[in-house]
Chain A
Amino acid sequence: MNTPIFRAFAVPLTALMLIASLFILLRGHNAPGGGFIGGLVAAAAFALQAAAFGPKAVRRAVKVSPLSVAAFGLSAACVAGLFSALADMPFMTGLWIEPHLFGITVPLSTVMLFDAGVYLVVVGAVTAIALAVEEEEP
């Protein structure tokens, strides 16, 4: 699989896919996309990179264990649900704030944090599985 052409294309392709995955995550609330799909795209990017340069290289580049990323995402999603407790509302009630940054209004919400959590869980878990399966090939 690791022909020079594939390797040459793998790096820019991976970068593009990762950026696209973030884009998909952030636009998800109003247009097709969201944390789940974004996470799958990012996982595909890492799988592509691993196919080109081997799972060890991906692990070195990512630095943290993919499963930790998944665990972190799960905690983030839980915390996003708990914010509503501060406002004395039931678990998982969405809260929105709209601060003005550099002259534009940026709507932020606990829902977005939750979606980011979903993204991290999907990236983490799928990448962990893909890398583990790819490693120690006989």
Chain B
Amino acid sequence: MTSGATEATFAALVLPFLGAVVAPVLAGRFGARAAWGLAVLPALSFLHFCSLVPEIAGGAPVTGGYAWVPSYNLSFSWYLDGLSLTFALLVTGIGALIVLYAGGYLKGHVLQGRFLAFLFLFMGAMLGLVVSDSFLMLFIFWEMTSITSFLLIGFDHERRAARRAALQALVITGGGGLFLLAGLLLLWNVTDVTHMSLALPYGEALKASPYYLAVLLLVLMAAFTKSAQFPFHAWLPNAMEAPTPVSAYLHSATMVKAGIYLLMRLYPALGGTAAWEIILPVFGGLTLIVGAVMAVGESDLKRMLAYTTLASLGLLVLLLGAGGDDAVEAAVLYLMAHALFKGAFFMLAGILDHETGSRDITALGGLVSAMPLTFAITLAAALSMGGLPPFFGFLAKEEIYAALAGGNLRAILLTATVVLGNALMFAAAFVIALKPFLGARKPTPRAPHEAPILLWLAPAVLALAGLVAALLSPRFHALFSTPMASAVRAAPAPVEIGPMPHFGLPLLLSVVTILVGIAVWLLADRLRPAVARLVATLSPGPDAAFDEFIAGLLALARRVTRLTQPGRLHIYMTVMFATLAAALFVTPALYGEWPAWPRFAPLLPSEAMIFAVAVIGLGAVITARQRLTAIVALGIQGFAVAVIFVFYSAPDLAFTQFMVETLSVVILTLVMMRLRLSVVDRRAPRRRLVDGALALGGGFGLVLLTLKTLETPFDPALSLFFGQWSRVIAHGRNVVNVIIVDFRGTDTLGEIAVVTAAGLAVLALLRRRSTRRGKA
């Protein structure tokens, strides 16, 4: 691959982030029309990835990247095979359409620029996620999608429900990301490589490793939280609080598929074992049924779609766990079909909401005359979702049934589950596609009329793509489905299914699905309250459990805080000094390493005088009746220490000690006056005894430490080094200063940062006190 192509791919990956920067500016100046210009950016990325299709379809993955931290083998590198490329095309292609749609949807909204910026940020993160080769890059982009999803769900942050939904999504998907990090680190440890493309061939060794199950469970936690598998699904329906473009893009077409992407990516490395083929179908099947049933019980259009999305994600997980080439091919086809029809469906629900002012299925009806175009597009999306020929959904469903149908118990169970789930989804699709448009016209908050082009263009393109892909299926399979399925299998896996129905077991199962679906559709209005009652009897569900969890966490945090931060200075000091004394006495006691009493040289008269001053200062501190006297006396003792430094030719140290002592006395005095302590120190005799014991313990402990330190022979290597080189290479004769500002300058930089932060903290604390007093 030439270097020019590397740069072009890098540019394609960065373009969405560029969009995030320019979106607020353009939206501020041109309003909704800015969307046309902004959509060009992801469209350009899309075109670049299209240009890579022939090469990748030919079986040659496109790789590239830049070294980042070579010493840790970290790089910003991408690996584009059939799987990554299909995802990249979905992210950028649907992304471009979504930008247009968002332009129309939020027309006239004050914060449209901010919204588009968040959307672009997400797009960049998602694109990075699906092309990442390096583990670390994958993890960073994974968490970035969680964070941008948080920002987008909480976009309407003045509503409590939106804030809660945003937080819930962040906690669940972001928390899952931590499992991903642990899983990837473990994978790194086992395989000794940090890149996906290198780790995948280690599949056999990995499956034999004792850490296989741990890696698998960690990765599954990440995938299940991100792709909203039961019981981590609660955040997805709640995420419908987000504006509709977000639901269409993040919560149906792209982000929720990140978990599926991860499972597909790691399929060659982790898939196909007994654990894989037990866990995935169980959770996928549960999610499929729960989602499909809840969809039928829901009356809010967007929540209905969210539950069908859950069901679809469950179906994908089930297929990946079912085992066999056909199941993987079915998952690949269904994933593409779902991205197209569900993205369109969400946008259509948004149009209904936007143009009528309601998205309650029971409050809408007879809109076909007012919105014929919207009806036509909705019908196309529903036909694909229902799996009817000649739409792409039909191909996916035939492939699913062909893959699952079999004679053993497991195959029968899986098939039955999928038939039931698909039938319920079929019913939900046609409830949404037909109920609002047919029948008697119902009054709506706004007079319904056809949507503007910015709104209908995107869903129309997606719905049409579902039709074209099916009609041109041999070409489509050659370019997309087969390379993607082969990438997941890590072996050639040609996809051959076409849009013409063939007689056989799959078609029979399709017919059963459709018949059951029609029956449910006819009974939909009666089933809805029944499902609601069922949910009520089964509650509290995972959604309530999340609230319980957060409340419990907060209560625990409060209890810990109350224990460790009682807010009384006396307690803090007692704990600190008791710990100090304990640390200094317990260690030598445990190891029996008490220092020996050294033989001191006889004191010079000058030294004796200074020691006397220090002792007098100390006595004054202890016996002083007034606090102010004690503080000043403490200063005397400090000055005596400074003079001792002078004797031992440490002028810099002495100088600093003098200044620090002076300022401490001044500041301590001021603090004492501020705190309005009583002038005289009145402590109960018992407390005096305890405090005195602690003081003695700490003091003698430090004496022990000093003596012990003196016992070890002095190593002059550092003194010699600094003495020798300070003048020669650092141009300074004062070794202490040279060490501070040059040899160990980075340490000093950290220290002065701490000094600044301490200043800020003191000011903040004082201001807090004075505002509180001001209120009282």
With A37-B655, A92-B746 in contact, do A121 and B756 touch (Cβ < 8 Å)?
Answer: yes
* Alpha-carbon gap, A136 to B656, bound state (A): 29
Contact with B along A80-101 (1 / 0, CB 8 A): 0100000000011010100000
With A33-B737, A129-B762 in contact, do A109 and B731 touch (Cβ < 8 Å)?
Answer: yes
Q: Which of B655, B670, B731, B741 contacts A130 (CB 8 A)?
A: B670
**In the complex the two chains form, is B760's CB within 8 Å of A114's CB?**
no
Interface segment, one of A6-14, A56-64, A69-77: A69-77
B766 CB within 8 Å of chain A: yes
B663 CB within 8 Å of chain A: yes
A126 CB within 8 Å of chain B: yes
**24 A–B contacts, CB within 8 A, in A order:** A29-B731, A29-B734, A30-B733, A33-B652, A34-B740, A35-B741, A37-B652, A40-B663, A41-B659, A44-B666, A51-B666, A67-B760, A70-B755, A70-B759, A74-B756, A94-B745, A114-B745, A118-B748, A125-B759, A126-B759, A132-B763, A133-B674, A138-B673, A138-B674
**In the complex the two chains form, is A137's CB within 8 Å of B673's CB?**
yes
**In the complex the two chains form, is B734's CB within 8 Å of A33's CB?**
yes
Residues of chain B contacted by A44 (CB below 8 angstroms): 659, 662-663, 666
Residues of chain A contacted by B760 (CB below 8 angstroms): 67
* Chain B, residue nearest A21 (CB): B659
Residues of chain B contacted by A81 (CB below 8 angstroms): 745-746, 749
With A30-B734, A121-B755, A130-B666 in contact, do A94 and B740 touch (Cβ < 8 Å)?
Answer: no
* Alpha-carbon gap, A74 to B667, bound state (A): 23
A18 CB within 8 Å of chain B: no
Interface residues of B (CB under 8 A from A): 651-652, 655-656, 659-660, 662-663, 666-667, 670-671, 673-674, 676, 730-734, 736-738, 740-742, 745-746, 748-749, 752-753, 755-756, 758-760, 762-763, 766, 770
* Alpha-carbon gap, A28 to B759, bound state (A): 25
* Alpha-carbon gap, A91 to B746, bound state (A): 8
* Chain B, residue nearest A32 (CB): B651
* Alpha-carbon gap, A74 to B680, bound state (A): 41
Interface residues of A (CB under 8 A from B): 24, 28-37, 40-41, 43-44, 47, 51, 66-67, 70-71, 73-74, 77-78, 81, 91-92, 94, 96, 107, 109, 111, 114-115, 117-118, 121-122, 124-126, 128-130, 132-134, 136-138
Residues of chain B contacted by A28 (CB below 8 angstroms): 734, 737
* Chain B, residue nearest A116 (CB): B741
Q: Which of B732, B745, B755 contacts A122 (CB 8 A)?
A: B755
Residues of chain B contacted by A30 (CB below 8 angstroms): 732-734
Residues of chain A contacted by B667 (CB below 8 angstroms): 47, 129-130, 133
* Chain A, residue nearest B766 (CB): A132
**In the complex the two chains form, is B666's CB within 8 Å of A126's CB?**
no
With A31-B734, A129-B759 in contact, do A118 and B676 touch (Cβ < 8 Å)?
Answer: no
* Chain B, residue nearest A28 (CB): B737
Residues of chain A contacted by B748 (CB below 8 angstroms): 77, 114, 118
**In the complex the two chains form, is B731's CB within 8 Å of A107's CB?**
yes
* Alpha-carbon gap, A14 to B154, bound state (A): 55
* Alpha-carbon gap, A91 to B747, bound state (A): 12
* Alpha-carbon gap, A40 to B742, bound state (A): 20
* Alpha-carbon gap, A102 to B752, bound state (A): 35
Beyond the given A30-B734, A125-B756, A132-B766, please list 11 additional residue pairs across the A-B interface where CB-CB is below 8 A.
A33-B737, A70-B759, A73-B756, A77-B749, A78-B749, A109-B731, A114-B749, A118-B748, A121-B756, A124-B756, A130-B667
* Alpha-carbon gap, A123 to B734, bound state (A): 22
Residues of chain A contacted by B734 (CB below 8 angstroms): 28-34
* CB of A31 to closest CB in B, whole Å: 6
**In the complex the two chains form, is A70's CB within 8 Å of B756's CB?**
yes
Residues of chain B contacted by A35 (CB below 8 angstroms): 740-741
Residues of chain B contacted by A137 (CB below 8 angstroms): 673-674
Residues of chain A contacted by B763 (CB below 8 angstroms): 67, 128-129, 132
With A70-B756, A71-B756 in contact, do A92 and B745 touch (Cβ < 8 Å)?
Answer: yes
**In the complex the two chains form, is A128's CB within 8 Å of B752's CB?**
no
Residues of chain A contacted by B674 (CB below 8 angstroms): 133, 137-138
With A73-B752, A92-B749, A137-B674 in contact, do A111 and B730 touch (Cβ < 8 Å)?
Answer: yes
* Chain A, residue nearest B749 (CB): A77
Residues of chain B contacted by A51 (CB below 8 angstroms): 666
**In the complex the two chains form, is A133's CB within 8 Å of B752's CB?**
no
**In the complex the two chains form, is A125's CB within 8 Å of B758's CB?**
yes
**In the complex the two chains form, is B741's CB within 8 Å of A47's CB?**
no
* Alpha-carbon gap, A44 to B119, bound state (A): 54
* CB of A50 to closest CB in B, whole Å: 9
* CB of A19 to closest CB in B, whole Å: 16
Residues of chain A contacted by B651 (CB below 8 angstroms): 32
Residues of chain A contacted by B663 (CB below 8 angstroms): 40, 43-44, 47, 126, 130
**In the complex the two chains form, is A96's CB within 8 Å of B731's CB?**
yes
**In the complex the two chains form, is B666's CB within 8 Å of A136's CB?**
no
With A111-B741, A114-B745 in contact, do A29 and B733 touch (Cβ < 8 Å)?
Answer: yes
* Chain B, residue nearest A41 (CB): B659
Residues of chain B contacted by A117 (CB below 8 angstroms): 752
* Alpha-carbon gap, A8 to B3, bound state (A): 75
With A126-B663, A133-B671 in contact, do A34 and B759 touch (Cβ < 8 Å)?
Answer: no
* CB of B304 to closest CB in A, whole Å: 54
**In the complex the two chains form, is B676's CB within 8 Å of A138's CB?**
yes
